[in-house]
Amino acid sequence: MANVSCFLLLFLSGIVLIPTTHQLQTYQSQVLLQLRKHLEYPTFLDIWVNYTGDVCNAPPSPQLSITCQDTFITELRIMGDKRVKVRDFDGHAIPNQTLSETFSVDSFVTTLTRLTTLRVLSLVSLGIWGPLPEKIHRLSSLQLLDLSSNFLFGPIPSQISRLARLQILTLDGNYFNGGVPDGLDSMSDLTVLTLKNNQLSGRFPSSISRIKTLSTVALSKNEMSGKLPDLGALSSLHLLDLIDNHFDSDLPNLPKGLVTVLLSRNSFSGDIPEQYGELGQLQHLDLSFNFLTGMPPQALFSLPNISYLDLSSNMFSGSLPGSLHCGSKLGFVDISNNKFIGELPSCLGTTSAKPVVKFSGNCLSVDVKHQHRESYCKAPDARRKHFLGRELGVSIAIICGATLVIVLLALGLVIFCRKVRSRETFGQHDLPKVVQENAPTGMSAEFLANARFISETAKIGTQSAPSYRLFSLEELKDATNNFAPPNLMGDGSTGKLYRGRLENGAYVAIRSIASLKKHSVQNLRVRLDLLSKLHHPHLVGLLGHCVDGRGQDESSTKVFLIYEYVVNGNYRTHLTENSLEKVLNWSDRLAILIGVAKAVHFLHTGIIPSCFNNRLKTNNILLDEHQIAKLSDYGMSILTDDFEKSDAKGEGLKTGQKTNIEDDVYNFGFILLESLVGTIVSGKGEAFLLNEMASFGSQDGRRRIVDPIVLTTCSQESLSIVVAITNKCISPDLSARPSFEDVLWNLQYAAQVQAAYDTDQKSDTNSQS
C-alpha cells in the first residue's frame, strides 16, 4: 500500500510540473518573437517561427546563436547587415541603414530585460538607434554586453555601472557623446572596456584606473581630452588604445604588464618617463604624432620583448647615443620627423639586418637627401612655441578680441569669395598645362586627373612610406651581381623576381617585366607614377622603378619594379610548414586574412580609378618578421592596356570591371579555403578544393578535411563564420559573391568571436591550475 501511495505522489507531482516547464518555454519563446518584431522581422530570425523543435537546439549561424541552460536563455548573439557608418548622423531614422522611425529603443530594451538570466548579449550591426535607456542595468546577470556598430547616441547611461557581473563591455562604432560615466569601478570583474569610434568627450574617468581586473582599455577615435591619471595600479592591463583623441598632459605612469600601448595622434607633451624603460612585457609602443620632447630613454630600445617602436612626428631632439642597444626582438623603429642630429647608432644603422628603421625628416648625417639641415633641428619648434605660449595667446586675445574678430570676418569673406571663383574654374585649372597638352595616347586628361585623387587612406599610408625613386640599370645589376642565377627567387607570369642588395646594404626584391604592350615611354611612366602612389600597411612597399628602353624599340622595353624585401616567406609555405615553431594557429591565420582583405578593399575602394585583378593567391601573401601580412604582385593591371577602360567618367562599373572584382573575390575565396584545410593543399588543384567544400557541411566532414591545427585552436562559431563567407566567395553565381567590405567584416567578426573564445579558454586554464 505504501508503494502505491509513493507512486501516486510521484505521478501527481509530474502532472503539476509539466505545465510549469511548458510555461517557461512558452514564455521564453514569446520574448524572442517580440524581439523579432522590434527588429522588424529580419529573415535570419524566421527560424524562431519556422523551427519545429526547441529553439535552444537550433543550429547556430553567423547571424544568430542562442545558448540555453535548462529552459532559460543565457546567451543571445545577433549580427545584422546594417554596417554603414554615417558621417553626420542627426539622431533620426535613416532608410535602409537604421531601423524605421517606429522603432523604440526603450521598448526594445524593456523586452530584453525580461530575459533575466542572460549572461551574454551581443547585438551587432542591427540598425538599433536612439539613446541607450538607463534600464539596461536590469539585465543584472550580464557578463558580456556588445552593442557595437549600431546608431546609439547620447550619453552612455550611468546606470550601466550597476552591471556588477559584467566582464566585457563593447560599444564600438556608435554615436555616444558626452563623457564616459564615472563609477565604472563598481564593475569589479570588468576585463575588457572598448568604446572606440564614438564621439565621447571630457576627461578620462579616474574610476577606470581603479579596476584592477582590466586587461583591455580601448577608447580610440573619440574627442576625449585633458590629463590621464596614473594607470600603474592596473596590474592586469595588456592593451591600452587611446589613438586619435585630444589628451594633452604628460605621459602617464603605466603598469608593468602592458603588452601594447597605442597613444598616437594626441597632444601629449614632455619627456617619455624613464619608467617606460622598465615595461618588460611591452611589445608594441606607438607614440607618434604628439608633442613629446627630449631624448627617448635608451632602455626603450632594449626592452626584452619590444618588437615595434614608433616615435615619429614628435619633437625629440639631440644625438642618439652610439652605445644604444637594440633588443633581440626589435623589428621596426620609426624616429622620422623629429629633430635628431648626428650619427645613427650601429644597431639602427642601414647595415643592420634588424630592425627596419625609418629616420627621414631629421638632421642626421646619414641619407642626407632625406634630412633637414642641422640648423633646422637647433631652431625652436613652431609647434612648441605655440604649445608653450597658449596662455599668453589667450590674454592677448582677450585684450584685442573685438579687433581680431573684425579682421577675421573680413579675411574670411575674402577667402570665401576667392574659393567660389576658383571652383567656377576648377575644370579649367585642375591639371598642369603640360599634362593636358601632352596626355599620352589612349589615356585621357580626365583619366589622369582622377588618377591624382588618392583617398585619405592612401595619404595616411604615405606618411611613413619609404621615398619612391628612379633606379638606374647599373644599380640593379650591381645589386643582383648582374642578375646572377643564385639571386633568382622565382619566374612567373609577371616576369622574373630577383633578390638584390643595394649599396647601403638594404635588401630589395626586383621584378623584371618584359613590356609586351606598345606603350609610349611617357604613357608607361604615367602608369608607373600611379602605381607608386599605392601605399597601405598590408601592401609590399614599392620603392622605385627602372625603365630600360634600349634605342627607341618599344617592343624591347623592360620595366624593373623594386620592392621592399619581406624576409619571412610566403603564406603558402607557412600553411605547409612542418616546423612546430612556425605553425599558424587559427587566430594567426585570421589576422593574416584580415590584413590581406584590408589591402584588397583599399585597392578596390581607396583609390580612383580602382585597382582590380590583383593576382590573389597564397604565394603572393608575404609575412614580415612580425608575421604581418603584405600582398605582393598587386596593381599589375595598371601596366596593361585595359586599365584605362576602368573609366574615370563616373559612369559606374563596366562589365569587365565587375568581372575583375568578382575574380578578386573568387581568388580570395581560395585563399580562405587553403587557410582552412592547411597542409592538404600541397600538390592539390582548384577542382580538388571545390569538391572538398561539401565536406564542411557536417562535423565528421570538417574533422576529415580541416587542418588539425585549425580544429584544435578554433572556436566552432568562428570557424562557421569563415566557412560561410568562403562558400559565398567561390560561388559559381557572380551575383551571389560578397563585396570585399562584407568579406572583411565577416573576418573581423570571426576574429572577435575567436578572441572571446581564447580569453575563456585561458581563464578556464588558470582556474584549473
Q: In this predicted model, what pLDDT tens digit does every residue of 453-495 receive, in sequence order?
A: 333 333 334 334 457 888 999 999 999 999 998 889 888 777 8
Integer Cα distance of 397 and 750 in angstroms: 53
Q: What's the pLDDT tens digit per position in 588-624?
A: 999 999 999 999 888 887 776 677 777 888 888 999 8
Judge whether 605 and 657 are in contact, CB under 8 Å.
Answer: no
* Statement: residue 448 has pLDDT above 60: no
Q: What's the pLDDT tens digit per position in 190-204?
A: 999 999 999 999 999
Rg (CA), the chain: 30
> Does the domain at residues 1-165 carry the CATH identifier 3.80.10.10?
yes
* Statement: residue 75 has pLDDT above 70: yes
- The angle subtended at Cα 695 by Cα 690 and Cα 697, nearest 5°, is 115
**Under CATH, what is the fold of the domain 570-769?**
Transferase(Phosphotransferase); domain 1 (1.10.510)
Judge whether 215 and 257 are in contact, CB under 8 Å.
Answer: no
Cα dihedral sign for 123, 128, 129, 134? negative
Q: What's the pLDDT tens digit per position in 202-252?
A: 999 999 999 999 999 999 999 999 999 999 999 999 999 999 999 998 999
CATH superfamily for 439-565 is Phosphorylase Kinase; domain 1 (3.30.200.20)
Integer Cα distance of 695 and 675 in angstroms: 15
Question: How does residue 504 score in pLDDT terms, banded at 50, 70 and 90?
Answer: confident
> Average pLDDT, whole number, for the chain?
78
Average the pLDDT over 81-89 and give the result.
Answer: 74
**Of 500, 507, 440, 504, the residue nearest 473 (C-alpha):** 500
* Statement: residue 164 has pLDDT above 50: yes
Integer Cα distance of 538 and 296 in angstroms: 28
Higher per-residue pLDDT: 587 or 356: 587
Residue 556 has what pLDDT? 59
What does the DSSP 8-state code read for residue 441? T
**Of 433, 419, 318, the residue nearest 364 (C-alpha):** 318
